[in-house]
Chain A
Amino acid sequence: MNYENENFIELIYGSIKEVNKQLAPENHLKLKVNEYLVSEKSPIDSLGLITLLIHIEGEISKNFNQNINLIEEELITEVDTPFETIGSLAEWLKDNVK
């Protein structure tokens, strides 16, 4: 299956809708490409981020039959983390999910 960037964005949005249910309303992530996932600009804390990434891992496994590990410390904490925004995470998934 050849997934485009938009398809990964939709997949991430699906996970965000699920994860928002367990976040206080002021911490809800917005469904927009430039929404921050990491850094002080993000409405979610580290628990919210990890929960979201594990949910996305589950969706990748379900849709692509591929196990990936998104909660590696280096990926999350590096200065130019690919998970900074929804858009950058979708880019990273496009490059790494086969």
Chain B
Amino acid sequence: MLNKYHLIADFNIEPLKGFILNLDREAEVSISPYGQVMQEIYKKEVFDNKNVILWTFIQSVIPSFSEVLNLNKYSEKNCLQEVKKYSEAIINLSKKQKFVFLVSWTLEDSISSYGLLDWKPDIGVSYILAKINIYLSDLLSKYNNIFILNSNYWIQNADKVAPKIWYATKVPYSPSVFDNAAKDIYSSYLALNGLNKKIIILDLDNTLWGGVVGELGIEGVNIGGHNFIGEAYQEFQRALLALSNKGIQLAIVSKNDEIVALEVIQEHDAMVLRKNNFSGWKINWKDKASNIKALLDELNLGTSSAIFIDDSPIERDWVKKSLPEVLVPDWPDDPALYVRALAELNCLHTATISNEDRNRTKMYVAERQRKEIKKNKVSLDDWLISLNTKVTIHALNNNNIKRVTQLFNKTNQLNLKTRRLSEKEILKWLNENKQNKKMHIIEVEDRLGSIGLVGIISLELVNKEVIIEDFILSCRAMGRKIEHLMLSLAYIFAKEKEAKVIKAEFIPTKRNRPTYDIFNDSIFKYSKDNIFLSKIDAQINFPKELSIENKSI
């Protein structure tokens, strides 16, 4: 279970525990004794592989900062040396923990400053604080299980704490700060566990632009221009585009005439989002829940990965009732509040951003073109051959480990065991009993573009049997014989190692039934207790529709 938290603070952090538990009823939260920050960091093996959240006042762990706060002349060098020492303690702590979340340092309201000189080098309080936060971030940047959470976001949108609460209980922040913090932490948990949302499905009229295009025509819709409502819609589109740039897909489900609606998207001068920014759309007069389901099926995404945004409460209610796994947020009536409502969704965190994420929409546009080609081809084999698919097989290396970790933690449907592993745990698995293990990483491209690193198969020889430990394939590569290629790699490894049998244990989840189907439809035989077996007596060839380059040897 990933949602076990341990809180370390130099103030009373009990309210955060309450907010986390109210948000995630399955979480377990423990708290270190009050004010024992450094003692707890240096303790050995006490947190049982939990997510440690470390929230301190800066002066508690960087003693020289007290001089800064007292407006005495301070030594920047001393401050930064202490930051370095603190970072080493954090790195040491992270070796024993699943993840460490540090909360960035901010200034308390009561702290005096130099006013005009506050951002001057060598004297300003804000200047040295910013430098310290950036220096700490740089020192920790290469550690993939350490994250710094931005407390400014929590504090700037929250009430002030009643001073009496601080003096009486040593709780320094108002409940709304802890509420924001808990939501941010929970969203991080979702991202690290592959449960964050992957796609935002949008209505058009009065959602992406003002007015009903069917009545007003392309000239009549309100977007951009010189009025605040039009500007608000345009700003909302910019915010959506930014999310798309970090890998969140956008799609449209709208009751409209498709030709008219697409004309606005392609031709209106003030539109920020264009056709190529959308992974797909269903613009017709059918009910929206059916359209959403059909669209997600086309994109190989589950309903739980989607958010649906619509200005109409009736449409929202219908989708909520029909597809309870789709997140349908209450949406403000005022378009000026759309950007804020989007920012408050708190389920769109990403743990890493890979090239695959940044180019995801482009990949889906290419996928749409592939499907068009498929419609015009007689057979699946013809279609696959026409795509000129090239597969490169890699070993695990420094260049691909981030994406591999992401695939381990984000892939749900084609995932044999759904092992959620950190980078450290993947390397640990591979390096133990190394001579009997193999991990192949699969990269795919075709004539329409790169599909990216999409598959992992990890294998281990145990007592003359080859065990398929992981079989992970991104949905977008499904149905292109990549899965057959991956099973062929298991056969090659088994032959190399003179194994008698290949074994795959399927661990069912709510979402990985397609993996079961792949094994069931292959030459593997279902044995019992979700075990699939195959003997090594057949000649297995790579699928002829794929051209293969093996760089993993």
| Residue in A closest to B170 when the chains form the complex, CB atoms | A47
Determine the chain A residues whose CB is within 8 A of the CB of B226 once the complex forms: none
Inter-subunit contact B164/A25 (CB<8 Å) = no
B450 within 8 A of A: no
Within 8 A of B (CB), among A29-82: 47, 50-51, 54, 57-58, 71
Contact of A21 among B25, B164, B171, B179 (CB under 8 A): B179
Inter-subunit contact A24/B169 (CB<8 Å) = no
Stretch at the interface among B10-18, B330-338, B528-536: B10-18
Interface string of B1-27 (1 = CB under 8 A from A): 000000000001011011101100100
Q: In the complex, A27 Cα to B19 Cα: how many Å?
A: 12
Determine the chain A residues whose CB is within 8 A of the CB of B162 once the complex forms: 54, 58
Determine the chain B residues whose CB is within 8 A of the CB of A58 once the complex forms: 162
Query: How big is chain B's contact interface, by range?
Result: 10 to 19
Inter-subunit contact B14/A25 (CB<8 Å) = no
A75–chain B nearest beta-carbon distance, Å: 14
Determine the chain A residues whose CB is within 8 A of the CB of B21 once the complex forms: 24-25
Inter-subunit contact A22/B168 (CB<8 Å) = no
Determine the chain A residues whose CB is within 8 A of the CB of B29 once the complex forms: 24
B47 within 8 A of A: no
| Interface SS majority for chain B | helix
Q: In the complex, A50 Cα to B12 Cα: how many Å?
A: 13
* Also in contact, A24 and B18, with CB within 8 A (given A18-B175, A50-B169): yes
Q: In the complex, A58 Cα to B159 Cα: how many Å?
A: 14
Determine the chain A residues whose CB is within 8 A of the CB of B236 once the complex forms: none
B89 within 8 A of A: no
Determine the chain B residues whose CB is within 8 A of the CB of A18 once the complex forms: 175
| Interface SS majority for chain A | helix
Inter-subunit contact B169/A51 (CB<8 Å) = yes
Q: In the complex, A54 Cα to B15 Cα: how many Å?
A: 15
Inter-subunit contact B179/A47 (CB<8 Å) = no
Determine the chain B residues whose CB is within 8 A of the CB of A21 once the complex forms: 18-19, 22, 175, 179
Inter-subunit contact B19/A22 (CB<8 Å) = yes
Within 8 A of A (CB), among B5-58: 12, 14-15, 17-19, 21-22, 25, 29
Determine the chain A residues whose CB is within 8 A of the CB of B168 once the complex forms: 50, 54, 71
B468–chain A nearest beta-carbon distance, Å: 41
Determine the chain B residues whose CB is within 8 A of the CB of A71 once the complex forms: 164, 168
B165 within 8 A of A: yes
| Residue in A closest to B18 when the chains form the complex, CB atoms | A22
Inter-subunit contact B25/A51 (CB<8 Å) = no
B105 within 8 A of A: no
Determine the chain B residues whose CB is within 8 A of the CB of A25 once the complex forms: 21-22, 25
Determine the chain B residues whose CB is within 8 A of the CB of A22 once the complex forms: 14-15, 18-19, 22, 175, 178
| Residue in A closest to B14 when the chains form the complex, CB atoms | A47
Q: In the complex, A13 Cα to B179 Cα: how many Å?
A: 20
Q: In the complex, A50 Cα to B25 Cα: how many Å?
A: 25
Q: In the complex, A19 Cα to B516 Cα: how many Å?
A: 47
Q: In the complex, A25 Cα to B14 Cα: how many Å?
A: 13
Q: In the complex, A51 Cα to B12 Cα: how many Å?
A: 12
Inter-subunit contact A51/B179 (CB<8 Å) = no
Inter-subunit contact B17/A24 (CB<8 Å) = yes
Interface string of B153-189 (1 = CB under 8 A from A): 0000000001011001101000100110000000000
Determine the chain A residues whose CB is within 8 A of the CB of B17 once the complex forms: 24
| Residue in A closest to B25 when the chains form the complex, CB atoms | A25
Using CB atoms and an 8 Å cutoff, list the residues of chain B in contact with chain A: 12, 14-15, 17-19, 21-22, 25, 29, 162, 164-165, 168-169, 171, 175, 178-179
A-B contact pairs, 21 of them (CB 8 A): A20-B22, A21-B18, A21-B19, A21-B179, A22-B14, A22-B19, A22-B22, A23-B18, A23-B22, A24-B21, A47-B171, A50-B169, A51-B15, A51-B165, A51-B169, A51-B171, A54-B162, A54-B165, A57-B164, A58-B162, A71-B168
